[in-house]
Amino acid sequence: MKKEIHIPELSLVTLIGISGSGKSTFARKHFKETEIISSDRCRALVSDNENNQAATEDAFQLLHYIAAKRLKNGLLTVIDATNIQREARASLVQLARQYHCIPVAIVLDIPEKVCAARNDVRPDRNFGSHVIYLQRSQLRQSIKKLKLEGFRHIYTLRSVEEVESVTHIIREKLYNDKKDVHGPFDIIGDIHGCFTELTELLTTLGYTVDRVPEEGINFGFQVTHREGRKAIFLGDLVDRGPDSPGVLRLVMSMVYTGIAYCVPGNHDAKLYRYLDGKQVQLKHGLQKTVEQLANESDLFRTQIKEFIDGLISHYVFDDGKLVVAHAGLKEEMHGRGSGAVRSFAMFGETTGEIDEFGLPVRYNWAMEYRGKAMVVYGHTPVPEAQWLNRTIDIDTGCVFGGKLTALRYPEEVLVSVKAKEVYEVPSRPIDFEKKQEVLSHQQQNDAILDLEDVIGKRIITTRLRNNVTVKEENSIAALEVMSRFAVNPKWLIYLPSTMSPSETSRLDNYLEHPAEALGYFQSQGIAQVICEEKHMGSRAVIIAGKDEEAIARRFGIRNEGAGICYTRTGRSFFNDAAMSKQFIDRVIAAATKAGIWERLNTDWICLDAELMPWSVKAQALLRSQYAAVGASASTSLRDVVETLQQTSQRKLEGIDILLDKFAAKQMMVKDYTNSYHHYCWPVNSIDDLTLAPFHILATEGAVHVDKDHAWHMDTIAAIADADPALFLKTEHRVIDVNNEAQVQEIIRWWMELTERGGEGIVIKPLDFIATGKHGLVQPAVKCRGKEYLRIIYGPEYTATENLNRLKHRGLSGKRSLALREFVLGVEGLERFIRQEPLRRVHECAFGVLALESEEIDPRL
């Protein structure tokens, strides 16, 4: 007769049987090799001898360690040992409880003679028959008490034939596992008998609620949704409110007809105990529910009891992305099954303290939550639902005169209806914390960042390019900058990426040329590109709010003004606080005059820009490097050329050649000094600055990478027109790289720009994010002018021997770096807009800064 054994897919399976009962053979037949932890194997690992009984203690320490790691990671684990003593099993049951897994016992109760015979033919089993007899005796004494020890599933196989009859071990999903259900959902907070508000909220959410004759499982209601959405009720359906029976009928009908899920709340559990005849105190609103149910039939009360008894403590939906529980749930409890999980999901956790209202102080588990899943819960009434570390409490105290709130998933949109009246006055006012708070829960929690979140090797998951790896040594370099020089981390929602130059020009006298830059995008299958004049300034990120309150609301920053301008390494651009304020005030005024706040439906904006002159942030560099090189070279070469000119009058052989060589060097140095002087001028006030924005990175609710670059330029033009004294509109042209006439026009434009001292152009795909033949393409390629490159590579880079060497420069590392930094920048902005914790946003900004310390030629 064939036999199947059913076990939870996440469980700790303990094989129990005397030596020779066939446990190892049974394990190998029905479980994966990696799932089995054998005590014999552990002895071998710690002593090179699996029969070394002296190594037993070390072996079992190793066994428990491995089992703990597997259970922590949610992996079924099988313990292959005799496990005939209660003490040995107790530690395993405790391990299962620790990791909220279900303990399973499979007993191989094989006759003693069979086991003895098997051991006789094994040379490594040379113990006497008395050992088998003793083990058998211990097994017989303990197997009747396995349930009392805590094993939830027990299977006993009493013969060789019964063991061999087991054909399959079926792994069953836990009841809370709804990972294959993806929504969309409408998750509804604590109702507490507010039937009218519930029907109004369901209608607002698009559900049709019809009254029908009560029969079967509909309980007098038929609920449908035209888009196929489903509701999830977070428990506490009853108590305190005016119509708990009505709420129960509606929710039970929706659950039983498959249009809703429901988890139990602590008030529902207490009602169950009352209906089950247990002694409970009729407090906290239960008295009102009992009175309302007095007029209901015995059948309905029985149906309520059965309904509540069948509710699952929590659910995991959408491939593990969504977890719902009445009081919330720690990450290590997600998808697990234990009494502790059910208790936490229903009641939460208290600190043991009592607040000034005589109520227990609840432990705020959400402050320490680091899980990937979104957790939606209720239980504790709050005046407004707020996100905290990817968790949200949506019990907005409807029964206390607040609101009944739903969270739409995956949209993450909150929908509420106001309570019709105050049905009960709470012991603790639900707006108590709101009156005392200035910042949101998330902003308060973001006050301190943890070093562990950025140090060491980091693997950052991004939407655009899967994972980006940051090496430990690069993290250390970034930490130095962030900890000593960077602005308040709450400002750092974005750091700009580096940019790759074009391929080496095929023309003899050029290192870079637009033909190669345009050719790159053509080779990737990108037709339309935008060519923008490249400004020689310093990269700047500007965050500006409509006012200081807007910054406080969205960034959680107070007393630092209505905005900031920081460098591409996260340092404040201005050392003078007064100048910084004047600058931000000018940006805000221009945005206001241009109608940006209304146009983009925002009260803050983040710009990517170039701030000129270059010298405003490069004074030290100019003095110590460029000016020093220019001055010393000019002086020395002047003396050399004068001496050679005098010597040439003597008509010595080879002097004219030498004079031409040094005269050429002198001219190169002159060109060098002229090049960097072109980008420098004194800055005594804001009026001496020029700002050229080229990206509107983000505003409230939007990261503008979904718009093409022409949109960015047009929108920025409106701001620039509002203050042309500060803002500079960037000259740009959109072309088709397959149109030769347009390509030649760009080359002519580039020549004109660079010949009059311009740095060059930047070429970008018209779409902000573009995918080519080989995946994500470069977000931008710079093509710099001949004389500007003299600043980068030195006065004599155009000498034939130097230029030929430079033409062999490699770009693969630079381009890889540019792409990785770009996707991290976008990821950080998107995380900020999704209102994720600051540590998640900062991880991306920190990653960009860390990547900057990779060994890439900085001249590229």
- Percent of the chain at pLDDT > 90 equals 61
Residue 92, pLDDT > 80, answer yes
Check residue 509 and give its pLDDT: 87
pLDDT confidence of residue 433: 47
> In the block, which residue shows the tokens 């708070």?
437
Q: How confident is the model at residue 622 (pLDDT cuts 50, 70, 90)?
A: very low
What pLDDT does residue 284 have?
80
Q: How far apart are the C-alpha atoms of 14 and 154, rounded to whole Å?
A: 10
The pLDDT assigned to 343 comes to 92
Classify burial at 50, counting beta carbons within 10 Å of its beta carbon; exposed 0-12, middle 13-18, buried 19 or more.
middle
pLDDT of residue 443: 81
Q: Answer whether residue 421 shows pLDDT above 90.
A: yes
Please give the span between the terminal C-alpha atoms of the chain, in angstroms, as a whole number: 75
- DSSP classification of residue 419: -
**What pLDDT, in 10s, does the model give residues 656-672?**
666 666 666 666 666 55
pLDDT bin (cut points 50, 70, 90) of residue 641 is low
Closest to 92 (Cα-Cα) out of 56, 110, 66: 66
- Over 60: is that where the pLDDT of 564 sits? yes
Rg (CA), the chain: 36
Query: Mean pLDDT for the chain?
Result: 88
pLDDT band at residue 629 using 50, 70 and 90 as cut-offs: low
What pLDDT band is residue 746 in, cutting at 50, 70 and 90? Answer: very high
pLDDT at 501 over 70: yes
Average pLDDT over residues 283-312: 93
| pLDDT attached to residue 435 | 47
Instruction: Give the long-range contacts of residues 295-300, CB within 8 A, separation 24 or more.
Output: 296/245, 300/245
pLDDT of res. 806: 87
Query: Of 87 and 777, which is predicted with more confidence?
Result: 777
Note the pLDDT of residue 612: 84
pLDDT of 8 over the 50 cut: yes
Identify the H or E element spanning 486: none
Average pLDDT rounded to a whole number, residues 662-690: 66
pLDDT at 638 over 80: no
pLDDT at 621: 47
Please name the residue that has the structure tokens 């093509």.
Answer: 783
Rounded average pLDDT over 284-303: 92
Most confident stretch, 425-429, 455-459, 566-570: 566-570
Amino acid at 695: H
Residue 64 class from Cβ within 10 Å (0-12 exposed, 13-18 middle, 19+ buried)? Answer: middle
Question: What is the model's pLDDT at position 441?
Answer: 79
Q: pTM for the whole thing?
A: 0.79
pLDDT, residue 640, reads: 61
Q: What pLDDT is recorded for position 282?
A: 85
| Integer CA distances (angstroms), 827 to 448, 464, 823, 838, 844, in order | 21, 8, 6, 13, 7
Q: Is the pLDDT of residue 678 over 50?
A: yes
Task: Give residue-wise pLDDT tens across range 178-204.
Answer: 999 998 999 999 999 999 999 999 999
Which of 364-368, 419-423, 681-685, 745-749 shows the lowest per-residue confidence on average (mean pLDDT)?
A: 681-685
Average confidence (pLDDT) over 755-779: 92
User: What mean pLDDT comes out for the span 821-841?
Assistant: 94
Q: What is the DSSP letter of 502?
A: P
Q: How many helices (H) and strands (E) does the chain have?
A: 30, 36
Lowest mean pLDDT among 45-54, 369-378, 552-561: 45-54
Average pLDDT score over residue span 61-80: 95
Average the pLDDT over 438-449 and give the result: 76
- Residue bearing the bigger pLDDT, 551 or 431: 551
- Residue 117 confidence class, pLDDT cut points 50, 70, 90: confident
Task: Indicate if the pLDDT at residue 32 is higher than 60.
Answer: yes
Cβ–Cβ under 8 Å, residues 562 and 584 = yes
The answer on pLDDT for 614 being more than 70 is: no
Higher confidence at residue 360 or residue 622? 360
| Residue 67 · residue 40 · CB < 8 Å | no
Checking if the pLDDT of 401 tops 90, the result is yes
Range scoring the smallest mean pLDDT among 63-72, 590-599, 634-643, 783-792: 634-643
Rounded Cα distance, 223 and 255, in Å: 10
Q: Which of 120-129, 227-236, 477-486, 506-515 has the lowest mean pLDDT?
A: 120-129
**DSSP notation for 383-408:** SS--EETTEEE---BGGGTSEEEEEE
pLDDT of 378 over the 60 cut: yes
Instruction: Give the per-residue pLDDT at 575.
Output: 83
Provide the pLDDT for residue 184: 97
**pLDDT one-digit tens code per residue, 573-585:** 888 889 999 999 9
